[in-house]
Structure 1
């Protein structure tokens, strides 16, 4: 192995950080995972994390990585970082965190923000967008900090995403990738840069331009590993640090979805469907596509918030027996849950689930709640578990059809990544619900692989992104639709699922009014 043939990818998720070494064929040479408690909740609905937890996990993972077989520091070409999206960090003038990070899962709101004034306010009233803008203002972490922790905000020299914090600790520079900018920040998603001086987002969010870091395109060398970072992590000093992208954008790339006809599903804490598109396409009107891992491209996305979190919810509420047995057997509980549903036919014998456990802004709306209909005396907890998997697939199919319609590009193949992609049952359900071949990438670590691919192109180790996709992504098992099940799912989707939200929406609003939430 010669110098320049290995790539280090740091993947900082919600529940763990992984340090990964890939070669130029996309093969995973070594991996170290450091788990941590996802977040603390000082108050109901809050999700915060001591920022030191992330850096400590990075240091621990890297130091363990060097002891793994096949890893050679002298073969490293560069390092790239991908992280969870929308998690923000307040830094003082010395670059030290001022308070815990506020995670993307946080649900605190700051109501009563002054509406946008001037010409922008008039345009929003005319377009019927006042409630949408008010929702953004209420959910923006910056507005909560300005109101409730003004001392912290006054001391905030830089207000950065988690990716920006880790890149700063590695390079000593306040710089981040355009591909990582997803959150309540004054970012122009169409022009892929910080918002212009007259943009309404500055007024809505209360963030000053000097509080933001420098942005560069994915694949840019942002800096080098500093001596201080090298001493802590063991990463060689002077190693190039390459701008990657957010975890979802890297997953899409790592799954080989480089063009609009390949849909990438992520069966993670938030379930999503994304494509990569050179054109700016809003999957929902006035909801922008996010930056892709490919420079100048976009990733239209539909989210099912708390998507595969619902599997964790099911385990905690209904799967105690499987969790105990799995602990004794030393296997994941999901293996036993798979057995629980193996004989349940497609459609869960009429049990239908709408996976809107958390409301949204547009689709679903702020009144949305989860719905389960069709219960009979023959249904078991196994039926409910299968209905969760089917409901998520229905919701993502609806998202796929919306993205395809908005982009005028049919989606003809599906790739699935994320934790849920390890379930054969989930992937077969997906193939049957979508009526399309559904492939599992050759590695589970698609977000880390995507980050490594961006580094490979940025360093000139692969000529371009099509080459990187061809050389570094490979298909694992492909699930073909079972025609009888496809027909049943198609009927249930069209005749029941697509009608559920509109039929239940008035009841959701009544529940919200009576219960106050």
Structure 2
């Protein structure tokens, strides 16, 4: 028996079939780009992405007919939703978390809700990266679409719905909407009433790992899946990543290296709201029962992809033609020493603690002899410095990190992981399977359909650790001095960069 994990991200989707011991039996991936009809807009073509998802499921399933898939589960990026009809038709595009639409509602929401009271209910600080401001924008600017929509589904609940389940959403994804009540584990009627959002347009909330339906016979034939296999509720992709690398207990943190660099520490009791708010840290249900997580993130992976597409387009084409990995080639150009290029990674909306929406990226220290590799290393260092500010603030909340588990596409690079370990001064461990989102979803599928008695048992059976990276403490000390320079950059240039971003 095998388990299918589907992982839908901002820039690509993958379907991976695993054995019960965590061996990859088949895998398929499709990359896509967001659309920007106007400056600041960022949306996915929902029909295109669904086609890509179906292609990856079919490709993976067709390779495992001798080892039938027992259950399927999906994880996804956190905030984007797809409007659908009751007969499972896609009605519109999916607005991404860094789309500026909804920004006009943020100040109104912040005036309407006291920050600490809101945090007690939802566990988040109000920002335009979440679903609620997007729904308000759709309600007011696309009223016909809002009226026609049966359900607004996050991608992790959209995939099961299109496969045949009833409209359901797990607690972790529901939390990304700003409309979820953490303690009651359901939608907040208070928040919905005060924002005039119709809760009937949202799916029912369930714990991760819950069986929510079965694959429809017709779609099963189209995709090459066994009919009527269980569909299991998944999780926010960062929670699924954490499960897929064994981060289910306190003291450990997942270090996701995908479109977003995202650190996910685990804790079993909710932390003091004031301490969390001061540091811009959220609280969300983990996919593992009885645990919570928080997110420290920025879009460092997107910056590396932007560098590839901007500075190395021909290298990318050549790598595709000749069958080698372009990132290996580009990382080999980076100097062994620290980069002399200082990068402020404000290329889009930033993560905690500041959640900046009115800044822009900066590269300083450029000279005529500056190489392409030096710029790339400066980008990676700058994105990691941004993360370091929040990591340094964690102990004051009562959260300690012993080591990081590196997963995602970027974790395939020893160089990138080592830079991260040297800057943060903590050990990193890379599991054998770095496609942790899909593996986490497969573990939840196994727990849901009864192959495993629990998510914990599934982790023990399917997650295997591989390589450890110890920080070079001499480099760490040198990075500490560089970090102090980095910390001066934003305060010195705040007004200028805000003025520049407003042009």
Does the alignment reach a TM-score above 0.5? yes
Q: Residue 430 of structure 2: SS of its match in structure 1? A: strand
Cα distance change of structure 1 residues 434 and 114 upon mapping to structure 2, 3 Å threshold: closer
Task: Indicate conservation of the 8 Å contact 1:110/1:143, yes or no.
Answer: no
**Is 1:366 aligned to residue 361 of structure 2?**
no
Q: Residue 181 of structure 1: SS of its match in structure 2? A: helix
**What does 1:435-474 correspond to in 2, within 5 Å?**
435-474=425-464
Shift of 1:404: 3.6
Cα distance change of structure 1 residues 433 and 182 upon mapping to structure 2, 3 Å threshold: same
**What does 1:71-220 correspond to in 2, within 5 Å?**
71-72=65-66, 74=68, 76-109=69-102, 111=104, 115=108, 121=112, 123=114, 140-195=133-188, 197=189, 199-204=190-195, 206-220=196-210
Shift of 1:290: 2.7
CA displacement, residues 182-207 of structure 1 (integer Å, 9 cap, x when unaligned): 53351124543211x2x234423x32
Shift of 1:101: 2.4
Could you tell me which residue of structure 2 aligns to residue 308 of structure 1? 301
Measure, in 2, the Cα distance between the counterparts of 1:126 and 1:219.
Answer: 30
Task: Indicate conservation of the 8 Å contact 1:9/1:448, yes or no.
Answer: yes
Could you tell me which residue of structure 1 aligns to residue 122 of structure 2? none
Measure, in 2, the Cα distance between the counterparts of 1:240 and 1:444.
Answer: 25
CA displacement, residues 193-246 of structure 1 (integer Å, 9 cap, x when unaligned): 211x2x234423x32121111111011111111223223222222211111112
Shift of 1:337: 0.9
Number of positions where the alignment pairs a residue of Structure 1 with one of Structure 2: 493
TM-score normalised by structure 1 residue count:
0.87
Q: Residue 273 of structure 1: SS of its match in structure 2? A: strand
Task: Give the unaligned 5+ runs of structure 1.
Answer: none
Measure, in 1, the Cα distance between the counterparts of 2:96 and 2:55.
Answer: 22
- Which of these residues, 379, 384, 409, is aligned with residue 393 of structure 1? 384
Measure, in 1, the Cα distance between the counterparts of 2:349 and 2:9.
Answer: 23
CA displacement, residues 111-145 of structure 1 (integer Å, 9 cap, x when unaligned): 2689469xx83746999xxxx75857997111111
- Which of these residues, 391, 402, 413, is aligned with residue 393 of structure 2? 402
Measure, in 2, the Cα distance between the counterparts of 1:375 and 1:101.
Answer: 38
Task: Indicate conservation of the 8 Å contact 1:292/1:299, yes or no.
Answer: yes
Measure, in 2, the Cα distance between the counterparts of 1:27 and 1:17.
Answer: 19
Measure, in 2, the Cα distance between the counterparts of 1:105 and 1:73.
Answer: 40
Root-mean-square deviation (CA, aligned residues, Å) is: 2.9
**What does 1:245-394 correspond to in 2, within 5 Å?**
245-281=235-271, 283-285=276-278, 288-304=282-298, 306-320=299-313, 322-341=315-334, 344-348=335-339, 350-360=340-350, 362-394=353-385
Q: Residue 111 of structure 1: SS of its match in structure 2? A: helix
TM-score normalised by structure 2 residue count:
0.89
Could you tell me which residue of structure 2 aligns to residue 48 of structure 1? 43
Measure, in 2, the Cα distance between the counterparts of 1:138 and 1:445.
Answer: 26
